[in-house]
Structure 1
Amino acid sequence: RGEQLSDAIVYDKLHVLKKDFSGYIERNSAKVDANLPVFFGYVVSALESSFPHIGDDDYDEFIDSMTFKVLDASRNIADFDYIRRVKTNALRFKKMKNADQGINIVIGLRLVKAGDPVHGLEFLKKYATLDVKLGMAVAHCYYTLSLREFRKDDESPAKNLRPGEMELLAREMLLKLAKTKPPVNTLRQLEVDDPSFLEKIFWQMIFIGLEWFPDEIWFINTGLKNAMDTSNAAMRKRILEIGAERFYTNINILREMYYYHLENRDPSSAAGVVNQLIKQYPHELEPIYLGLKLSLLTQKKMTYHGFRKMAVTNNMPSQIVDLFDFTFDLLNHEPREAMARIAEFENEFPRFQYYAITLKYIASDLLSTDEVRNKKARKVLLDSLENFSLRELQNRKPVKLP
């Protein structure tokens, strides 16, 4: 992420300090609530003595995280005089001009977690487009309130035909998110100890959005992004299935399906996706590249040479084809042929000599009898080839997306 090693160490130590304070809050919640100025003063003292050069943003985010933890552990969350006192004490020690933003967000999140959508909206509505999950929390508040707009015993036709004001606001919020496309999982205030309530809200509103706006692909793309960020394999599979059904001609969805099948060691399904891509985008190189990549994993010569022929016919850059030939020979235990190919590559493309030298070192590890070295080298080789190939394809011309 472009960080120096010292930054990583600081983050690790901040995490340890945060964990220590969190444990203290859990064990002494009533005592903390009764002595809020003393507690926050203690937090600031520990922060400044341990991290004298900490940036104002990291400093303020630490105060935000402590504020959420205090509220989360407290039994007084329904007492708004108490919430006001927590906010006042936390703000006293913050440094940045927008100090109230982080505090309002963590208070709003805690109220949403407590099942208080009315007051949760008061704190979160202003920040709905800073991050998708905040927007989803706001939409969820409106949706929750919409369920209260009609009495349970109201059986009038209007109940089922006309959405109420709160549901309309929920719909508007979801459409606004789809239009503005805010980032997801970028705010530090969302990094709470137990994010399960946020995940539950996020997925509920994603599926409601897909029900209300079935042609809006943003819900699919955003769901996939979050599923990958949170390593949620079940939701990733579910979203991909919906995406493949509704947006079966979209190259982005098909690409995600392809990689999903590869990760799950299902080459036959991945091959089906490649064939579909080639039929739909016969003049694009990316589907052919994905076919070449798949044939490396299956190591079937007939399949590889079929895709190689398509690559040459469609004028795929020769440096990519040459490196696929080198990799295919190497993976098929033909080291002499592989090393001859990399030598030819080095002579033909002197600007890539640095890369050829690196590949030779990787090849020596891959041919090693050491199973651990062999496995690591194989992964490095395939990852490296993918990065090189995609960069060269991108430099040749941008992929045409629908």
Structure 2
Amino acid sequence: MRGEKLSDAITYDKLHLLKKDFDGYIERNTAKVDVNLPVFYGYVISALESSFPNLPSETYDEFVDSITFKVLDSSTNTGDFEYIKKVMANALRFKKNKEAERGINIVVGLKLLKSGDSVHALIFLKKYATLDAKLGTAVAYCYYVLSLREFKNDDPRSKSHRPGEMELLARELMITLTKQQPALNQLRQLELDDPTFLEKIFWQMIFVALEWFPSEKWFVETGLKNAVLTGNTEMRKRFLDLGAERFYNDIQFLREMYYYKLENRDAAGAAGIVNQLLKQYPDKLEPIYLGLKLSLLTNKKITYHSFRKLAMTRGMPSHIVELFDFAFDLLSHEQKDATTKLADFEKEYSRFLYYTTTLRYLAGDFISPDESRIRKARKTLLDSIDQFCLEELNRKK
């Protein structure tokens, strides 16, 4: 493979296959790997460098981290700290970046956390707590678990409960996360083959934090974001309900609820949210935009023209309104009117020629005898207009 130029996607797939091969080898030969760590890591590095000679240092180190986690996760010796030190030393010997120790510390800490050793997991993880929201909740969980041991007979939910030192540290860290607001899944070391244990910890600490600090919006925002990222529909609904209950006048939660209603084909529910947004944010264009979008989906002329009039009155950019006019005619099977509007749009806004060419191609699919092709064209049109218009509205801010 030397000299071969690989796209990022192909490289990622081939790396994944190599990782899978090593995972299988580690599982079948755990004891052999444990007693021959230098030989095993030498074999890993040799395979990595011969197959991917131009691999970026960061990706290279991340691969070593993932192998290290698998070694620790498969071994029966992780209760022996001398063994852990040997694994770390062998992994660090081959890593390239200056911050190589950080990745190994996180990997070791996560393995200890997975095995229930919160005391030693803290040693490796606590200084990285604010690098990632999920890692931060994992560190807070370590403190929280240790706090339950401080007062075994004391229910932390009872009114007479007084938090001990470990619980105070957990609370302090969760509040620190709300102030620094680290992103989710920033670290590749968190991309585990089986992230179930980390997910459970994340959800547990978000709910515990909401009991401690019920008015902290960041916990609900982050819970909702993680639910969307992981495709957890149950948690998404739960956090949308929490947001609607505790932060009922917040545009972010109302926006998320609107899209949730659309996905679940609840047009009446989405219309109710649009009306609420119009009352609460009379000076914003976004509620009107969401109303226009809803009227495209429901294909009701009276509703569409009502929102169109409101959009013009409130100063929505004319090219966005005219683009909606074209889309509404096309979705209403008014092919001639749609073609005329697109031609007028093209003349008036020549700077968007790159986009109108795509729209013209999509419009042609709407007269296809193939129903599946029409459905795909409809979805592509709606998604495309949504992305284009939101970008244009953000420019106006």
Mark yes or no: TM-score above 0.5.
Answer: yes
- The answer to whether the Cα contact below 8 Å between 1:139 and 1:169 also exists between their aligned partners in 2 is yes
For the residues of structure 1 that align with 2:104 and 2:307, how far apart are their CA atoms?
Answer: 56
Instruction: Tell me if the contact between 1:60 and 1:95 (Cα under 8 Å) persists in the aligned partners.
Output: yes
**Alpha-carbon shift at residue 161 of structure 1 (Å):** 3.4
Deviations 1:74-127 (A, max 9, x none): 111211111111111111111211111111100000000111110000000011
- Counterparts of 1:100-115 in structure 2 under 5 Å? 100-115=101-116
Segment of structure 1 superposing worse, 185-194 or 367-376: 367-376
Match of 1:78 in 2: 79
Please report how far the alpha carbon of residue 158 of structure 1 lies from its aligned counterpart in structure 2 after TM superposition: 10
Q: Map 1:45-84; keep pairs closer than 5 Å.
A: 45-84=46-85
1:348 Cα deviation after fit: 2.3
**1:172 is matched with which residue?**
172
1:302-361 residue CA offsets vs partner (Å, 9 max, x unmatched): 211111121122121111111111111111111011111112222222322332232111
State the identity as a percent: 67
Q: Which residue number in structure 2 is paired with residue 307 of structure 1? A: 307
State the SS of the aligned residue for 1:160: coil
What is the identity, as a one-letter code, of the residue corresponding to 1:131?
A: D
Deviation at 1:257, TM superposition (A): 0.7
Which residue of the partner structure matches residue 19 of structure 1?
Answer: 20
Q: How many residues align?
A: 393
Aligned residue number for residue 133 of structure 1: 134
- How many Å apart are 1:5 and its aligned residue? 6.2
Q: Could you tell me which residue of structure 2 aligns to residue 339 of structure 1?
A: 339
Q: Are 1:150 and 1:159, in contact at CA under 8 Å, matched by a contact in 2?
A: no
Q: Could you tell me how far 1:156 is from its partner in structure 2?
A: 12
Give a deviation string over 1:116-153, Cα, whole Å, max 9, x none. 1100000000111111111111000000001011132x
Q: Which residue of 2 aligns with 1:116?
A: 117
- Tell me the CA shift for residue 278 of structure 1: 0.3
1:275 aligns with 2:262: no
Q: CA distance change for structure 1 residues 189 and 95 in 2, over 3 Å: closer, same or farther? A: same
Return 5+ residue gaps in structure 1 as ranges: none
What SS does structure 2 have at the residue aligned with 1:87? helix
Q: 188-197 or 356-365, which moves further after superposition? A: 356-365
Aligned to 2:88: 87
How far apart are 1:216 and its partner, in Å?
Answer: 1.0
**Contact 2:220 / 2:239 at 8 angstroms: preserved in 1?**
yes
Once the two structures are TM-superposed, the CA of residue 225 in structure 1 deviates from its matched residue by 1.5
> 2:80, 2:354 → 1: CA distance?
65
The superposition leaves residues 181-214 of structure 1 with CA deviations (integer Å, 9 ceiling, x where unpaired) of: 1111121101111000000001111111111111
Structure 2 distance, partners of 1:158, 1:281, is: 40
Partner deviation per Cα, 1:34-63 (whole Å, 9 max, x = no partner) = 211111111111111111111211111111
Cα RMSD of the aligned pairs, angstroms, is: 1.8
Amino acid at match of 2:271: A
- 8 Å CA contact 2:277, 2:287 repeated in 1: yes
| Residues in 2 aligned to 1:151 and 1:199: alpha-carbon distance in whole angstroms | 25
The aligned residue for residue 233 of structure 2 is 233
Separation in 2 of the partners of 1:157 and 1:360?
61
Distance in 2 separating the partners of 1:353 and 1:66: 49
Following superposition of structure 1 onto structure 2, how do residues 2-401 of structure 1 map, counting pairs within 5 Å? 6-152=7-153, 160-396=160-396, 398=397
Alpha-carbon distance between aligned partners in 1 of 2:328 and 2:349, rounded to the nearest angstrom: 19
Q: Secondary structure at the match of 1:47?
A: helix
Partner SS state of residue 149, structure 2: coil
> Aligned AA for 2:217?
I
AA matched with 2:74:
A
TM-score by length of 1: 0.94
The one-letter code matched in structure 2 to 1:84 is K
The unaligned stretches of length 5 or more in structure 2 are none
In 1, distance between residues paired with 2:6 and 2:261?
A: 36
Q: Runs of 4+ in structure 1 displaced over 6 angstroms? A: 155-159
SS of residue matched to 2:183 = coil
**Residue identity in the other structure for 1:39:** F
Distance in 2 separating the partners of 1:272 and 1:157: 37
- Relative distance call for 1:293 and 1:157 in structure 2 (3 A) is closer
Q: Distance in 2 between matches of 1:91 and 1:171?
A: 33
CA distance in 2, matches of 1:156, 1:386: 47
Change (3 A) 1:380 1:16: same
Question: Cα offset for 1:373?
Answer: 2.0
Structure 2 letter corresponding to 1:10? T
Q: Secondary structure at the match of 1:183?
A: coil
Q: Distance in 1 between matches of 2:70 and 2:322?
A: 56
Residues 351-389 of structure 1: CA deviation (Å, up to 9, x unaligned): 223322321111001221222321221122111211221
Is 1:185–1:226's contact at 8 Å kept on the other side of the alignment?
Answer: no
- Cα displacement string for residues 267-296 of structure 1 (whole angstroms, at most 9, x for unaligned residues): 111111111000001121110000010111
Q: TM-score, normalised by structure 2?
A: 0.96
1:129 counterpart SS class: coil
